[in-house]
């Protein structure tokens, strides 16, 4: 069960616990066996570049944040590397010899995802599994979609104030804002009025429904000008002013139903669905899995008065019934780094060999990616350095510290902190914008 830093320090100094892992920092109690475990929830906000992770504990009166992290994916790097490899192979094959094309009878599995997206699913799932080993995880919460279309199209939303009061109204409004790109559906912003309201295309007083299909986002000027007139009638009543000309275009588009909802790319949904099915498989019957929508997350975050941050979005995923406490704490930045290259040949920009990497990955017992501490007693590089090491055959290493890269540190000065696991770690803070005190990274 995650505890405070002070408690961990005391447990360690009294010899009641040992260090189990350096990052994320984990200790193991030596003098306790069995006992009851308090259930911890893992919450995930999957994103394209970063995924927010959070551990929370739900008590009867509040939701206590125990641990925060942001997982930085390397999807971009993966697709770049694959493109480069493809280009080089193509060039070599085409220019150096001719080989007839092979029969293209290769198939893909139904659940195939591009490698960069698969990487996102894999690393996120790996962290859920890793956390489940370290803490008693009982519940996994995941943001799955931006809007719940099923609920919005089927449910008639009568009796809902179209303000930010209720979740459903909030979700509808967020959806409409997204659909109309945060501008008025009629004038497209020509009126200069930025007060956007939910508008019934077919007026309520003339039997128009509350269904999302009958709703658009309109500025207050247009909303009042339209009043309870039918859209086709309003179009006929328009004059020749610049505003009315703009309105004619918007009305035409609305009448023909040309607004396309949900900008969310299909790829994003594919990744999230893949992640959900993997998590469901992992959780089986032992852990419960719940999902939420993006609008729900935003609603929760605004209600709690929290700033925008991936990890705080994660904490707000799903149903939040209690005040969230303790969220002002250091965030662990987890960078996906990979475990080094399989290819042992370095290529020049034309795809020809430039040099070769070592056969062995280990040098004097160290490997690229390991976390090390170096104490250099004298000389130009005198000082203490902690970070991710990059080894060289000569035994003169580079260390990536939080302050930057330090080159040419001898292996003799290095001590191993933790073996490389394909991730780099860093502690950061959440920047609090409106005058709040910023907590120092531990």
Q: Which residues bind Zn ion (CB under 5 A)?
A: 184, 186-187, 191, 219, 222
Torsion of CA 417, 422, 428, 434, to 10 degrees: -170
Q: Least separation, in Å, of the C-beta of 74 and Zn ion?
A: 43
Q: Is residue 123 within 8 Å of residue 73, measured between CB atoms?
A: yes
**Between 140 and 217, whose beta carbon lies closer to Zn ion?**
217
Three-state secondary-structure class, residue 412: helix
How many Cβ atoms sit within 10 Å of the Cβ of residue 333? 19
Classify 351 in phi/psi space as left (phi over 0), alpha (psi -120 to 50) or beta. Answer: left
For residues 23 and 21, what is the distance between their CA atoms, to the nearest angstrom? 6
Q: What is the CA radius of gyration of the chain?
A: 28
Q: Is residue 91 within 8 Å of residue 351, measured between CB atoms?
A: yes
**Between 122 and 244, whose beta carbon lies closer to Zn ion?**
244
Q: Least separation, in Å, of the C-beta of 240 and Zn ion?
A: 17
E strands of 380-434, at which residues? 383-390, 396-401, 404-410, 414-418, 423-428
Q: Least separation, in Å, of the C-beta of 223 and Zn ion?
A: 8
**Between 11 and 219, whose beta carbon lies closer to Zn ion?**
219
Q: Least separation, in Å, of the C-beta of 229 and Zn ion?
A: 15
Q: Nearest 5°: phi and psi at 61? A: -110, -15
**Between 162 and 423, whose beta carbon lies closer to Zn ion?**
162
**Between 237 and 393, whose beta carbon lies closer to Zn ion?**
237
**Burial (CB count <10 Å: 0-12, 13-18, 19+), residue 222:** buried
Q: Least separation, in Å, of the C-beta of 219 and Zn ion?
A: 4
Q: Least separation, in Å, of the C-beta of 217 and Zn ion?
A: 9
**Between 58 and 193, whose beta carbon lies closer to Zn ion?**
193
């Amino acid at each position: 069960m995650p505890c405070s830093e002070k408690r961990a320090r005391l447990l360690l100094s009294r010899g009641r616990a040992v260090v189990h892992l350096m990052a994320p920092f984990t200790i193991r109690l030596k003098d306790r066996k069995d006992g009851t475990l308090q259930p911890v929830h893992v919450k995930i906000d999957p994103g394209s570049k970063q995924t927010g992770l959070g551990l929370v504990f739900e008590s009867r009166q509040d939701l206590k944040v125990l641990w925060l992290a942001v997982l930085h994916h390397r999807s971009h790097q993966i697709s770049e590397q694959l493109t480069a490899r493809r280009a080089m192979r193509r060039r070599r094959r085409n220019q150096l010899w001719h080989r007839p094309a092979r029969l293209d009878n290769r198939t893909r599995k139904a659940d195939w995802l591009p490698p960069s997206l698969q990487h996102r699913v894999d690393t996120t799932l790996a962290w859920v599994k890793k956390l489940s080993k370290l803490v008693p995880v009982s519940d996994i919460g995941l943001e799955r979609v931006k809007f719940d279309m099923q609920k919005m199209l089927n449910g008639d939303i009568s009796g809902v104030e179209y303000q930010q009061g209720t979740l459903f109204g909030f979700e509808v409004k967020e959806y409409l804002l997204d659909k109309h790109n945060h501008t008025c559906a009629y004038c497209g912003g020509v009126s200069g009025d930025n007060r956007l309201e939910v508008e019934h295309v077919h007026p309520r007083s003339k039997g128009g429904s509350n269904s999302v299909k009958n709703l658009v986002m309109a500025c207050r000027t247009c909303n009042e000008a339209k009043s309870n007139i039918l859209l086709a009638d309003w179009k006929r009543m328009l004059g020749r002013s610049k505003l009315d000309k703009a309105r004619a275009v918007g009305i035409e588009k609305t009448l023909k139903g040309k607004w396309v909802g949900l900008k969310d790319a299909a790829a994003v949904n594919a990744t999230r669905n893949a992640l959900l099915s993997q998590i469901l498989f992992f959780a089986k019957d032992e852990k419960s899995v719940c999902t939420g929508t993006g609008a729900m997350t935003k609603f929760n975050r605004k209600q709690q008065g929290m700033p925008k941050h991936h990890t705080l979005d994660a904490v707000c995923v799903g149903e939040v019934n209690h005040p969230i406490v303790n969220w002002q704490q250091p965030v662990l930045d987890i960078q996906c780094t990979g475990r080094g290259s399989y290819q042992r040949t370095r290529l020049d920009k034309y795809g020809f060999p430039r040099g070769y990497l070592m056969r062995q990955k280990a040098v004097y017992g160290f490997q690229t990616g390991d976390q090390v501490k170096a104490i250099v007693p004298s000389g130009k590089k005198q000082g203490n350095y902690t970070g991710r090491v990059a080894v060289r055959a000569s035994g003169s290493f580079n260390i990536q510290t939080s302050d930057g890269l330090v080159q040419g540190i001898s292996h003799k000065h290095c001590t191993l902190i933790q073996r490389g696991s394909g991730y780099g770690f860093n502690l950061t803070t959440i920047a609090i914008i409106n005058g709040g005190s910023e907590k120092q990274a531990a």
